[in-house]
Chain A
């Protein structure tokens, strides 16, 4: 294995994804090639329906590619069965979703602990301590015993960030993490992600509609109609957008 491969968090080669059968079959992703290195902060942008969530679900091992190769930390995931995928997911990935951020039936601190608890098969004191510290880090000290519905949307999303970091995963996937938040909360949550990225070297792939957030990432990937049409620094990609608009 070359040093280059070792450096890769994520590799996609000619990945396609189709939904439906026969007549109703629709190809949503057409041959995606993408590499994400360890510790990268990547924004995934593109118009609605371009396939961002579909791509993120593939990367997140929540869904399987129709064709092509997907490697996570150099390991090809195609041949893995559901149990192995679940294990890999629990160990290497953290998620922040736009909706259904948290498990409403569980308290805030239990939500944060859950990735570790699922790995260990139960809760323990060390987990609780770590979860409490993470909650403090996202500015939610003392909120651990409340239920998610008792928190505001922004607070809930910060809990989701804490949860995504619980197992200290090398890669966190966020699908419009700030999509339903007001500007101020959205800024707070995004800053939190960036801080974690800087402090822990965690790689992030963040789907966002917001160009100002995308501009604060290191790299921006633009998806249009299921193809990567631009990939580079925010200046390059977002400049490109402005140019096309004009």
Chain B
């Protein structure tokens, strides 16, 4: 092994120009691999966190027969997100369900929530809004409004409420300004304690956030909630967990995946194209290494013959050429991972989303590079090991 490594290194040094060229090729290939993987993965994370940052991963609500019928006609999913009509059916035993769901595997947070439509008005300006009431510490696990506050503070005691910046602009609301919220139960006056900017228009233009109790009063559901919002450990498990919740509780559970089919499809096809790019890049790298080694074996027939004559075994010759492939793989991995990471970081400074360098991608790229080096060296190495020493020394055959 030591000797094989020595010989491999000497051969690479002898064909320096070739070695450097193919090393550059491997480096660029691995860099492209790391770059593409990091960009796609960061982009996906960004898309996901933007989407899931402003909505529950699973929404659990009491079963609703007529809405099931509607579901079959398609195109009504949006109603689940923001029901346009008040629902008066009580959520029987919701406290008990909170406890069950909290101890369900894969569920990391549960937030009982009241959400009901209302008309917000200040002076002559009016807006249709959704009054949302929830315990702040629980709501934070679903939608972290506290971190998205542009002005004011997260306060929802008494008549204090949070509004989105879109709504604030529409109604001309400033901090401390009173505004009216009207439902069929009559008008209530609230005061702006904070203005948030979540980035999601439906929230920023339509949400009025109060305490659970205030929302219950405004929407006329004392002691009741309209839905339980859930966060799960693995976002991609949401659909499965939702299905098992439906099966076990008889409640209706809708996952973010069901509500965002288009996003999910987009993420999957991104995954596929990123895999294709990576496969083709590494294939090109493998062919580069293989062709350099094939030429190197042909050029070194005489040397290989002499080595065999003076006692080199087939295994040693095999090892010498496999190691050349491995050396390309290892050095290419080190340089390529560095270069790819640097590029990705560099691009991260100009893109709208943060580019994160995941250790799993870097390590994966390095391992794939090493494997590519070894695999592409396999055929040339075998042909070198099979060389007939007599023919190699004679210079034919």
Give which listed residue, A63, A83, A89, A122, contacts B3 with CB less than 8 A. A122
**A208–B234 alpha-carbon span in the complex (Å):** 80
Among A100-108, A209-217, A220-228, A236-244, the one that faces the other chain is: A100-108
Give which listed residue, B2, B6, B13, B310, contacts A95 with CB less than 8 A. B310
> Once the chains bind, are B313 and A86 in contact (CB under 8 Å)?
yes
Is B305 an interface position by the 8 A CB rule?
Answer: yes
A215, chain B: closest CB distance, angstroms: 27
Residue of A nearest to B10 (CB): A105
Give which listed residue, B1, B315, B390, B393, contacts A100 with CB less than 8 A. B393
Among residues 239 to 261 in chain B, which have CB atoms less than 8 Å away from a CB atom of chain A?
none
Among residues 309 to 352 in chain B, which have CB atoms less than 8 Å away from a CB atom of chain A?
309-316
B100, chain A: closest CB distance, angstroms: 67
> Once the chains bind, are A63 and B312 in contact (CB under 8 Å)?
no
Is B173 an interface position by the 8 A CB rule?
Answer: no
Is B93 an interface position by the 8 A CB rule?
Answer: no
> Once the chains bind, are B3 and A100 in contact (CB under 8 Å)?
no
Among A3-11, A25-33, A71-79, A113-121, the one that faces the other chain is: A113-121
**A232–B314 alpha-carbon span in the complex (Å):** 39
Among residues 68 to 112 in chain A, which have CB atoms less than 8 Å away from a CB atom of chain B?
82-83, 86-87, 89-91, 94-95, 97, 99-106, 110
Residues of B within 8 A of A117 (CB): 3
A167, chain B: closest CB distance, angstroms: 8
Is A144 an interface position by the 8 A CB rule?
Answer: no
B77, chain A: closest CB distance, angstroms: 68
> Once the chains bind, are B313 and A62 in contact (CB under 8 Å)?
no
Give which listed residue, A53, A82, A110, A114, contacts B310 with CB less than 8 A. A114
> Once the chains bind, are B307 and A62 in contact (CB under 8 Å)?
no
> Once the chains bind, are B2 and A121 in contact (CB under 8 Å)?
yes
> Once the chains bind, are A122 and B2 in contact (CB under 8 Å)?
yes
> Once the chains bind, are A163 and B393 in contact (CB under 8 Å)?
no
> Once the chains bind, are A100 and B310 in contact (CB under 8 Å)?
no
> Once the chains bind, are A83 and B302 in contact (CB under 8 Å)?
no
Among residues 249 to 280 in chain B, which have CB atoms less than 8 Å away from a CB atom of chain A?
none
Residues of B within 8 A of A102 (CB): 306
Residue of B nearest to A90 (CB): B311
- Knowing A57-B390, A62-B390, A121-B3 touch, does A86 contact B303 (C-beta < 8 A)? no
Is A60 an interface position by the 8 A CB rule?
Answer: yes
Residues of A within 8 A of B388 (CB): 63
Residues of A within 8 A of B393 (CB): 57, 62, 97, 99-100
- Knowing A97-B393, A122-B2 touch, does A83 contact B313 (C-beta < 8 A)? yes
**A95–B393 alpha-carbon span in the complex (Å):** 11
Is B66 an interface position by the 8 A CB rule?
Answer: no
> Once the chains bind, are A103 and B306 in contact (CB under 8 Å)?
yes
> Once the chains bind, are B2 and A89 in contact (CB under 8 Å)?
no
A66, chain B: closest CB distance, angstroms: 13
> Once the chains bind, are B2 and A118 in contact (CB under 8 Å)?
no
**A124–B296 alpha-carbon span in the complex (Å):** 28
> Once the chains bind, are A115 and B310 in contact (CB under 8 Å)?
yes
Is B221 an interface position by the 8 A CB rule?
Answer: no
**A219–B314 alpha-carbon span in the complex (Å):** 36
Residues of A within 8 A of B313 (CB): 82-83, 86-87, 118
Residue of A nearest to B395 (CB): A99
Give which listed residue, A101, A105, A118, contacts B311 with CB less than 8 A. A118
> Once the chains bind, are A163 and B10 in contact (CB under 8 Å)?
no
**A122–B395 alpha-carbon span in the complex (Å):** 28
Residue of B nearest to A103 (CB): B303
Residues of A within 8 A of B394 (CB): 53
Residues of B within 8 A of A53 (CB): 394
A122, chain B: closest CB distance, angstroms: 4
Residues of A within 8 A of B3 (CB): 117-118, 121-123
Most buried by A among B1, B303, B305: B303
Residues of B within 8 A of A101 (CB): 306
Residue of A nearest to B310 (CB): A115
Among residues 293 to 311 in chain B, which have CB atoms less than 8 Å away from a CB atom of chain A?
300, 302-303, 305-311
B295, chain A: closest CB distance, angstroms: 15
Is B25 an interface position by the 8 A CB rule?
Answer: no
Give a binary string over B73-117; 1 marks a CB under 8 Å from any A CB, 0 the rest: 000000000000000000000000000000000000000000000
Residues of A within 8 A of B300 (CB): 105
Among residues 377 to 397 in chain B, which have CB atoms less than 8 Å away from a CB atom of chain A?
388-390, 393-395
Give which listed residue, A82, A87, A95, A105, contacts B309 with CB less than 8 A. A95
Is B11 an interface position by the 8 A CB rule?
Answer: yes
Residue of A nearest to B316 (CB): A118
Is B72 an interface position by the 8 A CB rule?
Answer: no
Residues of B within 8 A of A106 (CB): 7, 10
Residues of A within 8 A of B306 (CB): 95, 97, 100-103
Give which listed residue, B2, B302, B314, contacts A99 with CB less than 8 A. B302
- Knowing A95-B309, A102-B306, A103-B303 touch, does A82 contact B314 (C-beta < 8 A)? yes
**A123–B316 alpha-carbon span in the complex (Å):** 15
B293, chain A: closest CB distance, angstroms: 14
Residue of A nearest to B4 (CB): A121
Residues on A lying within 8 angstroms of B by beta carbon are 53, 57, 60, 62-63, 82-83, 86-87, 89-91, 94-95, 97, 99-106, 110, 114-115, 117-119, 121-123, 163, 167
Nearest 8 CB-CB pairs, A to B?
A90-B311, A100-B302, A105-B14, A118-B311, A63-B390, A62-B390, A105-B10, A57-B390
4 additional A-B residue pairs with CB within 8 Å, beyond A82-B314, A87-B313, A105-B303: A83-B313, A89-B309, A100-B306, A105-B300
Q: Can you list 9 A-B contacts with CB-CB less than 8 angstroms, sorted by A residue number?
A: A63-B388, A63-B389, A86-B313, A91-B311, A99-B393, A106-B10, A115-B311, A118-B311, A121-B2
Residues on B lying within 8 angstroms of A by beta carbon are 1-3, 6-7, 10-11, 13-14, 300, 302-303, 305-316, 388-390, 393-395
